[in-house]
C-alpha cells in the first residue's frame, strides 16, 4: 500500500495553487505551462464531463447517476478522498471542500487511509448523490497523474471521478491556455447536445461568463453554443436564470457505451456495463427505495 502522512492533504493544497499560474507570468508561468502540456496527452488524460442537468426517463435519474452508480455497484474497490484539492487550495466558500473525488478500481486499495476513505458501495453512492445535489459537475476518466499524487503503482491505472465547481476547478481555470491537442483530451460526450431556446434567452451573458471552454457566446442580443468548442458539461444550463439552455441526449445507450468503452481502453478492468444493464440497476434501486433520492 502507498503511504501518505496525515499532513499530505494540507501540503497538496498549498502546492496545488501552482497549477493555476498562467503562461503570461514571467519565467515561472512558462515553466508551469510546459508541465501542464506534458501531462495533458492522450495517453495520460482521457476524461469527459457528465452534465448533471441531462435527465433521463429512468425514475428521473440524471445521466451521472445512471453511469456512476452502475460503475460503483460493479467495482471491486473504491475510495473517497477526504477533501477536494481544488476547493481546499482556494478555501472555497461556495461548495463543501469535504466532497472529495471517488476513485474506482482494484488499484485504489493501495491508497492510504490518511488521505482517503476506503468506502463501501453504499457510502460511495451516498457521496455521489451528495455531490450532485450540491450542484457539482462530475468528470470521469483516466488521469495518470493521480497515480503519483495518491501513491498508487504507476502500472495500475484506475478511474477518477472528480466533482468540480465553477469557482475552483483547475481544469475550468486553465483550459483556454492549453493548445488544441491538449484541450482535445477533455472529450465532449458522444450524442449530447447543448442548445439555446432563443425565445427564452434574454441575452444576459451569464452562460458566456461561466463557460470555461469558450463555447457560449453572445450575438445579436442572444446566446449561442458553439458545438465545436462545447464540452457538454452543462455548466451554462446551471447558470441560466431563464432556463433557456437545454442539455439533451440523442441516444442514451450509445452515449453511455461510447464513454465507458473509450475510458476502459486506458484504465483496463473498468466495471463496464451496457446502458441496458445500468438502466435495469437504476430501476431496481428506485423500486427498492421509492421515497429516497428522486432526481
Q: Which residues pair with 222 in a beta bridge?
A: 219
Answer whether 50's CB lies under 8 Å from 140's CB.
Answer: yes
Per residue in 68-115, pLDDT tens? 998 898 899 999 999 999 999 999 999 999 999 999 999 999 999 999
Q: Spell out the residues 6+ positions from residue 55 whose beta carbon is closer than 8 angstroms to its own.
A: 61, 62, 63, 295
Specify the pTM. 0.89
Percent of the chain with pLDDT over 90: 76
Of the candidates 181, 172, 150, 188, the residue with the CA atom closest to the CA atom of residue 42:
181
Q: What's the angle, vertex CA 73, arms to CA 71 and CA 76, rounded to 5?
A: 85
Greatest CA separation for the chain: 58
Domain ranges of the chain: 8-189+253-288, 192-249
Quote the CA–CA distance of 212 and 118 in Å, as a whole number: 32
Domain 192-249: which CATH number of 3.30.460.80, 3.40.50.11030, 3.30.70.20, 3.40.50.300: 3.30.70.20
Coil, helix or strand at residue 29: helix
Task: Of 18-27, 75-84, 172-181, 269-278, give the lowest mean pLDDT range.
Answer: 269-278
Q: For the chain, report the end-to-end CA distance as a whole number of angstroms.
A: 38
Split at pLDDT 50, 70, 90, the class of 55 is low
What whole-number distance in Å separates Cα of residue 220 and Cα of residue 222? 5
- pLDDT band of residue 294 (cuts 50, 70, 90) is very low
Average pLDDT along the chain? 90
Specify which of 1-5, 143-147, 282-286 reaches the highest per-range mean pLDDT: 143-147
How far is 157 from 225, CA to CA, in rounded Å? 34
Amino acid at each position: 500500500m502507498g503511504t501518505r502522512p496525515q499532513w499530505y492533504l494540507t501540503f497538496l493544497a498549498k502546492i496545488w495553487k501552482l497549477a493555476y499560474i498562467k503562461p503570461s507570468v514571467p519565467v515561472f508561468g512558462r515553466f508551469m505551462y510546459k508541465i501542464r502540456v506534458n501531462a495533458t496527452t492522450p495517453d495520460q488524460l482521457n476524461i469527459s464531463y457528465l452534465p448533471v442537468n441531462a435527465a433521463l426517463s429512468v425514475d428521473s435519474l440524471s445521466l451521472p447517476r445512471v453511469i456512476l452508480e452502475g460503475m460503483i455497484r460493479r467495482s471491486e474497490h473504491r475510495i473517497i478522498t477526504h477533501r477536494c484539492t481544488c476547493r481546499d487550495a482556494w478555501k472555497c466558500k461556495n461548495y463543501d471542500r469535504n466532497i472529495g473525488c471517488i476513485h474506482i478500481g482494484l488499484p485504489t486499495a493501495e491508497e492510504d487511509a490518511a488521505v482517503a476513505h476506503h468506502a463501501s458501495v453504499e457510502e460511495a453512492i451516498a457521496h455521489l448523490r451528495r455531490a450532485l445535489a450540491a450542484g457539482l459537475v462530475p468528470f470521469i476518466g483516466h488521469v495518470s497523474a493521480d497515480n503519483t499524487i495518491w501513491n498508487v503503482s504507476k502500472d495500475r491505472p484506475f478511474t477518477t471521478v472528480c466533482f468540480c465547481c465553477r469557482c475552483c476547478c483547475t481544469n475550468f481555470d486553465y483550459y483556454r491556455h492549453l493548445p488544441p491537442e491538449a484541450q482535445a483530451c477533455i472529450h465532449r460526450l458522444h450524442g449530447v447536445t447543448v442548445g439555446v431556446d432563443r425565445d427564452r434567452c434574454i441575452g444576459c451573458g451569464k452562460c458566456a461568463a461561466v463557460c470555461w471552454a469558450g463555447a457560449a457566446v453572445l450575438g445579436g442580443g442572444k446566446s449561442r453554443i458553439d458545438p465545436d468548442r462545447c464540452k457538454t458539461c452543462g455548466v451554462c444550463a446551471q447558470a441560466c436564470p431563464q432556463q433557456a439552455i437545454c442539455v439533451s441526449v440523442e441516444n442514451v445507450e450509445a452515449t453511455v457505451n461510447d464513454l465507458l468503452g473509450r475510458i476502459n481502453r486506458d484504465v483496463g478492468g473498468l466495471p463496464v456495463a451496457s446502458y441496458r444493464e445500468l438502466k435495469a440497476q437504476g430501476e431496481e434501486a428506485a423500486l427498492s427505495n421509492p421515497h429516497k433520492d428522486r432526481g
